[in-house]
């Protein structure tokens, strides 16, 4: 009997010891693996940060894309050009992590206040409306953002679908009713004055079409359109390319022109740039208004009028913007002509 008990006890003790040893070994292995992973991650992060600092440091001193590309080749950093109307944008792969590098256009240093952009950009990210931006240098305009995997800019087809417009309206509501403290006001008319002062050949604007005097007169009649409004944080450049959809989440990117404005200005931009149908435009406005008390159904007619005015003024401004850029050797094809044609078409529809 004693022998049986000893055998049982030995078996129990062996099982207990095995269990304890397994538990200890698992804990040790987990601890070792965690330590190794932490070291690897720290090493990778250090390598990424070093590369980022090198790249950003170089681009700050040189905004010529070809020299930046040569620098990236020299340092064996994979990259590809991904376009951009205002700036050169490059997709980088740094130690397996993708970033988008903005190489600022030299002309834009005179057109855009980068301090306002950096301040507003950071607030939009904290609110979940913007992508992560590890670097945005207010002096040079160099920007580095995390690349959104599996994301695509909204297409004009999507922007005419109600499901997509509902998401857009929701993001607009969050932005316009946020507690952002934007320190700048975006005014089409102040922007126009600034762009016009930079235009060396002033006649390039007034001689673009025989009807320019009328267009200019009507444009300036709307200068006080926002006079009695309570302005709110706005993006002010919601072209389809600046709205990225990742799975079911929508991001607004590129906050260069952000500032306080009439919330209808953002809606007007989406209607104009997204080439929305009348039905889609009405749906966007109604969906947005249903979420906020800023506009009631009885005021839709007034809102529609303001939308047309904003769209008209936007086309005039971006026509002038294109003429300034073209003076510095940039080629936008027939973009300026399309903007002007759109402005004249809206001019005929204004009351």
> What is the model's pLDDT at position 4?
63
Same domain, 86 and 232: no
Same domain, 219 and 336: yes
User: Model pTM?
Assistant: 0.82
Same domain, 251 and 158: yes
**Cα torsion at 90, 95, 97, 102 (round to 10°)?**
-20
Please determine, for residue 247, whether its predicted confidence score (pLDDT) is greater than 70: yes
Q: For residues 236 and 321, give the distance between their C-alpha atoms in angstroms, rounded to a whole number.
A: 15
Residue among 111, 89, 103, 83 at smallest CA distance from 318: 111
Q: Which of 129, 147, 165 is the last residue of a domain?
A: 147
Same domain, 129 and 164: no
> What is the model's pLDDT at position 25?
64
Same domain, 203 and 303: yes
Domain count, the chain: 2
Same domain, 83 and 218: no
Residue 330, C-beta contacts closer than 8 angstroms, at least 6 positions apart: 105, 107
- pLDDT per position as a tens digit, 188-242: 999 999 999 999 999 999 999 999 999 999 999 999 999 888 999 999 999 999 9
- pLDDT per position as a tens digit, 11-41: 666 766 676 667 666 665 565 555 444 443 4
Please determine, for residue 88, whether its predicted confidence score (pLDDT) is greater than 70: yes
Beta-ladder partners of 261: 232
Same domain, 225 and 159: yes
Looking at 52-66, 241-255, 296-310, which range is the least confident one?
52-66
Q: What CATH number did the domain enclosing 268 receive?
A: 3.90.1200.10
Residue 10 within any structural domain of the chain: no
Q: What is the mean pLDDT of residues 56-76?
A: 71
Map the chain to HEC letters: CHHHHHHHHHHHHHHHHHHHHHHHHHHHHHHHHHHHHHHHHHHHHHHHHHHHHHHHHHHHHCCCHHHHHHHHHHCCCCEEECCCCCCEEEEEEECCEEEEEEECCCCHHHHCCHHHHHHHHHHHHHCCCCCCCCEECCCCCCEEEECCCCEEECCCCHHHCHHHHHHHHHHHHHHHCCCCCCCCECCHHHHHHHHHHHCCCCHHHHCCCCCHHHHHHHHHHCCCCCCCCCCEEECCCCCHHHEEEECCEEEECCCCCCEEECHHHHHHHHHHHCCCCHHHHHHHHHHHHCCCCCCCHHHHHHHHHHHHHHHHHHHHHHHHHHHHHHHCCCCCCCHHHHHHHHHHHHHHHCC
Please determine, for residue 328, whether its predicted confidence score (pLDDT) is greater than 60: yes
Residue 22 within any structural domain of the chain: no
Same domain, 139 and 252: no
Structural domain containing residue 312: 153-349
Same domain, 202 and 321: yes
């Amino acid at each position: 009997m004693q022998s049986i008990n000893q055998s049982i006890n030995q078996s129990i003790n062996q099982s207990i010891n095995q269990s304890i040893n397994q538990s200890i070994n698992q804990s040790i292995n987990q601890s070792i693996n965690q330590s190794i992973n932490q070291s690897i991650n720290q090493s990778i992060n250090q390598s990424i940060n070093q590369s980022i600092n090198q790249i950003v440091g170089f681009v700050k001193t040189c905004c010529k894309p070809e020299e930046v590309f040569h620098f990236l080749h020299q340092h064996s950093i994979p990259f590809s050009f991904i376009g951009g109307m205002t700036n050169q944008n490059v997709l980088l792969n740094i130690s397996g992590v993708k970033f988008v590098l903005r190489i600022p256009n030299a002309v834009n240093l005179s057109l855009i206040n980068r301090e306002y952009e950096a301040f507003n950009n950071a607030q939009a990210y904290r609110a979940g409306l913007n992508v992560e931006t590890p670097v945005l240098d207010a002096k040079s305009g160099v920007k580095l953002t995390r690349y959104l995997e599996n994301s695509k800019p909204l297409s004009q087809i999507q922007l005419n679908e109600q499901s997509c417009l509902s998401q857009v309206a929701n993001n607009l509501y969050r932005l316009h009713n946020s507690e952002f403290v934007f320190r700048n006001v975006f005014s089409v008319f102040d922007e126009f004055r600034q762009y016009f002062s930079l235009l060396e050949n002033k006649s390039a604007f007034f001689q673009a079409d025989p009807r320019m005097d009328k267009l200019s007169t009507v444009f300036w009649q709307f200068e006080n359109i926002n006079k009695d409004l309570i302005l709110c944080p706005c993006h002010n450049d919601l072209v389809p390319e600046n709205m990225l959809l990742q799975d079911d989440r929508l991001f607004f990117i590129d906050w260069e022109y952000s500032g306080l404005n009439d919330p209808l200005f953002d809606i007007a931009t989406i209607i104009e740039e997204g080439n929305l149908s009348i039905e889609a435009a009405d749906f966007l406005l109604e969906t947005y208004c249903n979420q906020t008390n800023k506009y009631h159904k009885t005021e839709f007619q007034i809102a529609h009028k303001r939308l047309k005015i904003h769209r008209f003024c936007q086309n005039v401004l971006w026509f002038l913007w294109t003429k300034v850029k073209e003076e510095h050797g940039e080629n936008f094809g027939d973009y300026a002509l399309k903007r002007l044609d759109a402005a004249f078409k809206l001019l005929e529809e204004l009351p």
